[in-house]
Structure 1
């Protein structure tokens, strides 16, 4: 698993069930709400600062996701991706990388076509067993509750960038 994480130049995340708890919340007016974890957000920023590019591929379309991505400085966002493999292939062309340069974190069977092609596939404990079988790593934390941060730290540790990321906080 450490060897796979070492290869990651681009880490791609699903949203619902990975960056959030997977719940879909709606107001009476029909507006969608999502809760994102601030620890996950800081982990994403640290991973990006370590030199790993970040992307989102999600099946749903949401202004909330676009706003969160802008807030975190995530440049590559593919929403409404009902065919995640096609979105993944488009993303690879956009960033000029191969599948073996990528990691992907997903939580459901729709994520399997991408998970089966990347160097480092990650899932969460709530994912169906079939999805977990194709993951190189299943997080200890649940989606929306620190799972993304856990993966960011794991990648930085495997790439020997963790100590440099922590140095400003430990001076």
Structure 2
């Protein structure tokens, strides 16, 4: 019985608004105040990490709330405030030494389309823009902000030869050592 992830994905990059959040913006007189994240997606980052898969954020927006969540989850890479995702992606690949086939990306809107056909796997939440849904390799059941990252992580690990129980075993055996954040 296989107990180690054997798939090609070594890095998963997430867009934020519309993927890790529902795309809503909570604005006040001085700008963006809050973002609502799903705790299931926090566990997804830890789940990927315990199988040797790095994760990161590649987002067109930036905010203090997003910076806090990035630090809290200890993403391996973070690029925010960049609508030109293709050049940002090239730099991430170069910095981390990964090939296109080893990268999965999760995006929901037309700004993410330049990465279709470049990354090894392109995922979309079920409520993504129609053009993204048409080009995605995999469309998740979850909507943006509804646990999309968790569904993607499980899909990658199961596609890499693990059962759901095998995928979660190291996480459940090492909560404190892994510093899991929801």
TM-score above 0.5: yes
Partner of residue 21, structure 2? 20
Secondary structure (helix, strand or coil) at the match of 2:75 reads coil
Partner of residue 165, structure 2? 163
Displacement, 1:135? 0.6
Distance in 2 between residues matched to 1:151 and 1:103, nearest whole Å: 9
Note the 1:6-155 alignment, pairs <5 A. 6-155=7-156
> After alignment, is 67-76 or 153-162 more displaced?
153-162
Displacement, 1:48? 1.4
- TM, length-normalised to structure 2: 0.85
Displacement, 1:40? 1.1
Distance in 2 between residues matched to 1:11 and 1:35, nearest whole Å: 21
Secondary structure (helix, strand or coil) at the match of 2:57 reads strand
Secondary structure (helix, strand or coil) at the match of 1:121 reads strand
Distance in 2 between residues matched to 1:103 and 1:128, nearest whole Å: 18
Secondary structure (helix, strand or coil) at the match of 1:131 reads helix
Distance in 2 between residues matched to 1:10 and 1:143, nearest whole Å: 20
The answer (yes or no) to whether the contact 2:12–2:54 under 8 Å persists in 1 is yes
Distance in 2 between residues matched to 1:10 and 1:29, nearest whole Å: 35
Q: Structure 1: state its 5+ residue gaps.
A: none
The answer (yes or no) to whether the contact 2:104–2:122 under 8 Å persists in 1 is yes
Q: Structure 2: state its 5+ residue gaps.
A: 1-5, 174-182
Secondary structure (helix, strand or coil) at the match of 1:6 reads coil
Instruction: Give CA deviations for 1:114-158 in whole Å, capped at 9, x if unaligned.
Output: 122111100012112211111110010101111111111111111
- RMSD, matched Cα: 1.8
